[in-house]
Amino acid sequence: MNLASNESGGRASDAVQDRRISSDSARGVRQVGLLFVAAGAVGLVSDVVPGGLGYGHLIAAILDAVLFPVGITVVLLRKKRFLHGRPGILLAVFAMAMVAANNASGARAPEAYGAFFMLIVVWVGIWYPPWTVVALSPVMAAA
């Protein structure tokens, strides 16, 4: 079920479908929130452990420290309607901006960031209608 597919016709079955869509939307938002938490936690560990990829890079540590609480906030707010549907795509844009900022910080090898973009593309592909990834391609190219 896509996050952005909500068509009501006024019937009783539409209320059931609205609840299902809301449940699917909440799952998609929860998933990206947990991905933010995981990325922030792993990033913070690599920023503070000597020999880690981000060790000694203050900007990378700040970005990872921002990502972790944002993920927790997204998970806690997952049932709020303002994160469901098309507005939730801003979470993917935020993720791309974080990847681009981490890349610009120079803390890690640039080749590593392709995997993060693929993760974003897969998340968008699972939870949004076809062609949404194509619509995001200018943002992805800019990042």
Measured CA distances, 58 to 41, 45, 90, 103, 107 (Å): 15, 13, 26, 13, 9
The candidate with the shortest Cα–Cα distance to 60, out of 45, 50, 74, 38, is 45
pLDDT of residue 37: 92
Q: What are the two backbone dihedrals, phi and then psi, of residue 88, each rounded to the nearest 5 degrees?
A: -65, -20
What is the CB neighbour count within 10 angstroms for residue 140? Answer: 18
The mean pLDDT value for 104-127 works out to 82
Higher pLDDT, 31 or 83: 31
pLDDT of residue 22: 56
Do 52 and 17 meet the contact criterion of CB atoms below 8 Å apart?
no
Q: Is 103 exposed, middle or buried (0-12, 13-18, 19+ CB in 10 A)?
A: middle
pLDDT tens digits along 70-87 = 999 988 888 887 777 777
Confidence of residue 23 (pLDDT cuts 50, 70, 90): low
Confidence of residue 8 (pLDDT cuts 50, 70, 90): very low
pLDDT of residue 72: 92
pLDDT of residue 20 exceeding 80, the answer is: no
Whole-structure pTM value? 0.72
Q: Which residue has the tokens 């640039």?
A: 110
Do 83 and 29 meet the contact criterion of CB atoms below 8 Å apart?
yes
Percent of the chain with pLDDT over 70: 83
